[in-house]
Amino acid sequence: MYTISLNLKSFDLNSLIRTENCLFSIFSFFKIKKIKQKMNPKTCKKVTVLRSPHIDKKSREQFQIISYKRTLVCNFSSKIVLLLFLEIFKTSKFPGVESEILIEFSTF
C-alpha cells in the first residue's frame, strides 16, 4: 500500500483551486475515491517600508504577503498506477503553485 501526500503552496488562491480541480480529475481517471483533503492555515507576512530616505519616519507603507497551503493524501494499491500518476503529475504544469510529494510505503 502506497500513501502519497501532496503539499501544495501558492500565493494566489485561484491558481491553488484550479490545481486542486486538475488533480481531482486525475484522481478520478485512476478511480481513486478516498482522498483526504487538509486545509492548512494561511500565513500572512507584513512588511513595513519607509517612503522617503530622509528623517520623516511618519510616512510609511505596509505590504503583506499571504500564502495558502493545502495537503491532499491518497492511497494507491498498485505500484504501476502509482508510477503512472507520478509521471502524469511530473509532466503537468501548475502555474503559480509549489508542489511537494511525500511517498510512504508500508511493508507489513
CATH number for the domain spanning 100: value is 3.30.70.600
Cell of 73: 493524501
Residue found under cell 500518476: 85
DSSP assignment string, 8-76 = EEES-HHHHHHHHHHHHHHHHHTT---EEEEEEEEEEEEEEEESSSSS--S-EEEEEEEEEEEEEEEEE
Which domain covers residue 79, as residue numbers?
2-105
Instruction: Report pTM.
Output: 0.78
Mean pLDDT of the chain: 88
Coil, helix or strand for 4?
Answer: strand
Task: Quick: pLDDT tens for 43-90.
Answer: 999 998 888 777 777 788 899 999 999 999 998 888 898 899 899 988
How many domains does the chain divide into? Answer: 1
